[in-house]
């Protein structure tokens, strides 16, 4: 079970390995949201058993027992972006209407991996998050606001 806007703390120290890579190398690799997302999406279902992971490239990563959608996003040294992936990348444009439409029916699981293996997690309602950050971007300097207790 989880609560929205409550910050949860986890320490994964000593719980991960890959081949002959050192802990230091893996720690740096896991601070990259592109890498961490694949594993954290699955780990979230262990920390929060009411969530089910949705595989593939859906517009969300999890559903709960009521089929409510959640999208997991990682907060890194570059901040966090929660606009649809179709708006991310070179040459792509931000569409305010589409962004607002998606966030109205989506909840977000924000994972702070800046100090990996320590991870902070906060659940946010999409409509509230988009009011606070109407362009779908949370800067690195706003990390402590997002994860404040």
Which CATH number is 33's domain given? Answer: 3.40.210
Whether 134 is in a domain gets the answer yes
CA Rg value for the chain: 15
In a domain, residue 2? The reply is no
CA 45, CA 59: separation in Å to the nearest integer?
A: 18
Q: What share of the chain is helix, strand, coil (3-state, %, to 5)?
A: 35, 25, 40
pLDDT at 90: 47
Measured CA to CA, the distance from residue 38 to residue 45 in angstroms comes to: 12
pLDDT value of position 5: 96
Domain assignment of residue 1, yes or no:
no
State how many domains the chain has. Answer: 1
Q: Which of 64, 35, 48 is nearest to 2 (CA)?
A: 48
HSE, side-chain direction, 13 A CA sphere, residue 78: 8
134 phi/psi in degrees, rounded to 5: -70, -5
Domain range for 72 is 7-146
Global pTM value: 0.91
Stretches where the chain sits below pLDDT 70 are 57, 84-94
Q: Which residue do the tokens 């595989």 mark?
A: 55
Residue 43 lies in a domain: yes
């Amino acid at each position: 079970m989880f609560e929205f806007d409550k910050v949860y703390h986890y320490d994964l120290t000593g719980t991960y390995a890959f081949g002959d890579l050192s802990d230091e190398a893996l720690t740096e690799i896991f601070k990259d949201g592109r890498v961490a997302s694949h594993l954290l999406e699955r780990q979230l279902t262990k920390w929060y058993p009411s969530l089910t992971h949705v595989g593939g490239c859906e517009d969300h990563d999890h559903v709960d027992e009521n089929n409510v959608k959640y999208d997991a996003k990682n907060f890194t040294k570059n901040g966090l972006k929660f606009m649809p992936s179709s708006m991310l990348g070179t040459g792509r444009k931000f569409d305010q209407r589409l962004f607002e439409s998606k966030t109205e029916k989506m909840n977000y699981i924000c994972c702070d991996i800046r100090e990996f293996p320590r991870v902070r997690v906060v659940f946010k309602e999409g409509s509230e998050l988009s009011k606070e950050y109407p362009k779908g971007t949370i800067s690195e300097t706003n990390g402590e606001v997002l994860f404040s207790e």
